Amino acid sequence: MMTLERLPSLLHPVEGHLRRLARTWINDGADGCRLRYGDEVVVIDGRCDEDRLVSAPFGGLLHDWHWEVGTDRRNTERVEAEADLLGELAARNEEVGQVAGALLESGDQLLAIYDLARSSLSRATGAERRRIAVADALRLTGASCAALVGGEETAYVGDDAVAARMLPWSGDSTRTAMRRVDGVGDVAIRPFPDRADGTLLLASGPDRRFTTADLKLIDAISFFAGGLIALERMKSDAVRGALIERDAETAAKLAQMLLPRESPDIDGLDVAGRCDPARLAGGDFYLWIPTGDHVVVAVGDVSGKGLGAALVMTMVVRTTTRLALESNIPDPHELFRQLARHLTDYLSEAGVFITMVIGVYRRDGDTIRLANAGHSPVLVGNADGFANLPPTAPPLGVMEDMIADTVELPFVPGDVVVMGTDGLVEQENAERAQLGDEWIADHIAGLAGDPACVVVDSLFAAVERHAGDTAASDDRTAVVIRREKSSCTN
């Protein structure tokens, strides 16, 4: 294993950044960070498991080197961005050295370029780093005025009058340019790299022109300072992203706590459910609410994904539960009418709608009442086969005066109702093939005699086998209601 002390000279200027990036990764939950050159490995921090490793090659002269982080594949873009930037930054350090050696004649300038690469600019952060970049640019090039435009502030050093005439040219900040301005001289315009917000402008002074050597030096300064600012921003974004992810995870846990954890203890009824969000937080939900002589069972899907859908879901679950408990004889039609009255304005403002199915079963009854607000799949049947229950109303959030027709179906021992969400039937595999509604009907027909929890687990296992390595495209939810013989039945 190679040690940090044996790193090539091109990587020495970014060694500190490697250590800081590695520490940020580990604070974000990564196993470790390392460099790889062929079979040689340099561990920066932590330990890297070969089975959980994201690798990206550096750019430029270091293309044979790889930046590797022990993290989830979803962080690949971040690893690649850091590798590109670190490689380019190391290459620009090399260019600074070459330009300094070949073109700079005075010892003071050589010391200054060394300072740029090694000292205050590298250690500074935020607004301080911008101000130092401007001052160093002015000192190294002998310009009469230097400015950095963009981001949080405009910083400049030099003659106020020259700055006032130079700064309007920052409008050309999307591309490298050179302008000759009366009373100002040459104005060199150098945008920072894409990930750094800012443009460096330098004025030569009215009695001087920038030489080719000056322009190369300006390019190197711009890229070097911009690279450091970009690294600082990436670090801040990583910290901010970790905080957002933590908040989302907390919200997801709170939302999942609203869903039933145990099946209801109802004589003659076997009920089981499961919800797997595609992200930390999702918009699928299910619930069962015993109310006196009845039990209300529902499954819903909030349009959209992520934290926003989860927040809407919590509102719907709480409202549905309250309305069901307030009703002496709950009816799917009346529950949907009340839900539409309470939630339509809220859903409209949130820009979402909800597909939902509600079923009501009376204890020891031989029927089940169902209403379907644009939801799928909903299947009813037994070992002889299953049929899909089509929608009897539009989704919640479409109209306040909602009428959801109730369908009353026989529900005797051996009958099964399956309420799912589209994350089950629309899951794609590597060939982008979906399972489809017909598959779920055929699958559960062979399981109609099994306990509800077995049917639910079998559905999810089949979907996971179909998906293989393809990530879940949507939340997956299923509730199975199975009619059994009552313990009072002879």
Q: What would the pLDDT profile of 30-89 be if each residue is shown by its tens digit?
A: 999 999 888 888 888 898 888 889 999 987 667 788 999 999 888 999 999 888 888 877
The yes-or-no verdict on residue 131 having pLDDT over 90 is: no
Do the beta carbons of residue 313 and residue 475 sit within 8 Å?
Answer: no
Do 326 and 462 share a domain, yes or no? yes
Query: Which residues share a beta bridge with 266?
Result: 269
d(CA 416, CA 384): 11
Q: At what angle do helices 15-27 and 76-103 cross, to 10 degrees?
A: 170
Do 415 and 281 share a domain, yes or no? yes
Q: What amino acid occupies position 26?
A: I
Do 291 and 215 share a domain, yes or no? no
Report if residue 369 sits inside a domain.
yes
Do 127 and 271 share a domain, yes or no? no
pTM as predicted: 0.53
Do the beta carbons of residue 177 and residue 190 sit within 8 Å?
Answer: no
Do 302 and 383 share a domain, yes or no? yes
Count each helix (H run) and each strand (E run) in the chain, helices first. 12, 19
pLDDT, tens digit, 9 for 90 and up, residues 437-474 = 888 888 888 888 899 999 999 999 999 999 888 888 78
Q: What is the CATH number of the domain that holds 358?
A: 3.60.40.10
Q: What is the dihedral of CA 259, 265, 270, 272, to 10 degrees?
A: 20
Residues 145-156: what's their mean pLDDT?
Answer: 75
Number of structural domains the chain divides into: 2
Report if residue 208 sits inside a domain.
yes
Residues 397-420: what's their mean pLDDT?
Answer: 93
Structural domain that includes position 269? 260-483
Longest CA span, the chain: 109
Residue finishing a domain among 167, 189, 219: 219
Task: Please list, in sequence order, all residues whose beta carbon lies within 8 angstroms of the beta carbon of residue 77, skipping any fewer than 6 positions away.
Answer: none
d(CA 181, CA 161): 13
The DSSP 8-state label assigned to residue 393 in this structure reads: B
Report if residue 8 sits inside a domain.
no
Residue 54 backbone class (left: φ over 0; alpha: ψ -120 to 50; beta: rest): beta
Q: What is the CATH number of the domain that holds 178?
A: 3.30.450.40
Q: What amino acid occupies position 143?
A: A
Report if residue 412 sits inside a domain.
yes
Do 148 and 206 share a domain, yes or no? yes
Do the beta carbons of residue 12 and residue 87 sit within 8 Å?
Answer: no
Mapped onto helix, strand or coil, the DSSP state of residue 97 is helix
Do the beta carbons of residue 474 and residue 423 sit within 8 Å?
Answer: yes
Report if residue 60 sits inside a domain.
no
Report if residue 435 sits inside a domain.
yes
Do 321 and 195 share a domain, yes or no? no
The yes-or-no verdict on residue 100 having pLDDT over 60 is: no
Report if residue 288 sits inside a domain.
yes
Do 396 and 475 share a domain, yes or no? yes
Host H or E run for residue 20 = helix 15-27
Task: State the pLDDT at residue 167.
Answer: 79
Do 333 and 205 share a domain, yes or no? no
High-pLDDT (> 70) share of the chain, %: 78
Do the beta carbons of residue 301 and residue 361 sit within 8 Å?
Answer: no
Do 265 and 180 share a domain, yes or no? no
Task: State the pLDDT at residue 109.
Answer: 45
pLDDT, tens digit, 9 for 90 and up, residues 415-442 = 999 999 988 888 888 888 888 888 888 8
Task: State the pLDDT at residue 250.
Answer: 61
Residues 242-267: what's their mean pLDDT?
Answer: 69
